[in-house]
Amino acid sequence: MLQHFDFNKSWKELEEASAYLRGKIKETPKIALILGSSLGSLADEIEDRVEIPYREVPHMLTSTAPGHKGIFIFGHFRGKPVVAMSGRFHYYEGYSESELAFPVRLLKLLGVEILVLTNAAGCVNESWKVGDVMIITDHINLMGLSPMRGTNFEQLGERFFDVSEMYDPNLQLQVFKAARELGSDDHTHCGVYFFMPGPHYETPAEIRAIRILGGDAVGMSTVTEALTAAHCGIKTVGLSFLTNMAAGMDDEKLSDAGVVQAAAKNGPRFQRLMARFIENIKL
Ligand code: HPA
């Protein structure tokens, strides 16, 4: 069915949501962190914090995925003004792609300049291991889904927009530098994130196809946010934390519990990398 977009209403909703949040915070956040499954504890280190549950924000979506808390945390991370979204929204929860654009557009209206996206992902690349980190250089989204479908918000960006450098090359380099500083460059790779809509994991045949098509990691998030950010001119960096070998690559059955366990086991290294990277960012 053709989706009808009420431009004025949606724009008004965005403005109402951002006015609400602006009324609660003292400083414009320059960096936004959208933290993936079980990777939310980085936000514990945010100082001078103001926590705002999503449900308090007018028109905001509700987080339903396991391991996703559903709060904005404003404050300082290593001295930088940030906002973390502890809990994100996914297509598999039932949201339309256009609805999924809302939180990132809200970040834009708040003044965010850099978006850091993290996710838990399956490892497709046969040379890498569980616990490694992939700096996203690009993604493949063959689902035919775009959050920018429907009426274009000209105030935010052009109808047709370039996505050839959606993941900012300089920020990618900065992550790699941070990994080197921490001596974890052996566990840090660059590669292509392949989006699958979920909520089921992939079949082994799909994983073989994804590898042939050029995917190094597979997951159910991130692309919508990155596309929305590209449209409205927020610089993006994406990090996949590889919680499991993708379907059929070993004898493990895939489960959310396994993903959570892997994130808990190797999470601290990922956390240190993120922290160093953010500390090094020059605003
Ligand atoms: N596939 C899709 N999404 C995921 C996976 C996976 O193997 N692991 C964590 N998120």
pLDDT in tens, 102-144: 999 999 999 999 999 999 999 999 999 999 999 999 999 998 8
Rounded Cα distance between 200 and 90, Å, is 13
- Which atom of ligand 1 lies closest to the CA of 244? 8
Rounded Cα distance between 185 and 162, Å, is 30
Torsion over CA: 261, 75, 233, 20 (sign): positive
DSSP state of 167: B
Structure confidence at residue 5 (pLDDT): 52
What is this structure's pTM? Answer: 0.93
Alpha helices in 111-246, H assignment, sequence order: 169-181, 204-213, 223-232
Q: pLDDT by residue (tens digit) across 246-272?
A: 999 998 888 888 778 877 787 888 888
Structure confidence at residue 264 (pLDDT): 79
Rounded Cα distance between 136 and 153, Å, is 27
Residue 52 pLDDT > 50, yes or no? yes
Nearest CA to ligand 1 atom 3: 219
Residue type, 86: S
CA distances from 168 to 29, 182, 203, 237, 282 (A): 19, 22, 31, 6, 14
**Any idea how long the chain is?**
283
Rounded Cα distance between 75 and 214, Å, is 38
Q: pLDDT by residue (tens digit) across 169-192?
A: 999 999 999 999 999 888 899 999
Contact 108, 156 (CB under 8 A): yes
What is the percent of the chain with per-residue pLDDT over 70, rounded to a whole number?
94
Does 241 contact ligand 1 (Cβ within 6 A)? no
Structure confidence at residue 68 (pLDDT): 62
- Which atom of ligand 1 lies closest to the CA of 119? 10
* Residue 179: strand, helix, or coil: helix
Long-range pairs for 69-75: beta carbons < 8 A, 24 or more residues apart: 69/40, 72/21, 73/43, 73/46, 73/49, 74/21, 74/24, 74/25, 74/27, 74/29, 74/46, 74/49, 74/50, 75/46, 75/47, 75/48, 75/49, 75/50
Does 246 contact ligand 1 (Cβ within 6 A)? yes
Mean pLDDT value across the chain: 90
Cis peptide before 53 (omega within 30 of 0): no
Q: Mean of the pLDDT values across residues 207-222?
A: 97
Residue 2 pLDDT > 50, yes or no? no
| 136 Cα–ligand 1 center, Å | 15
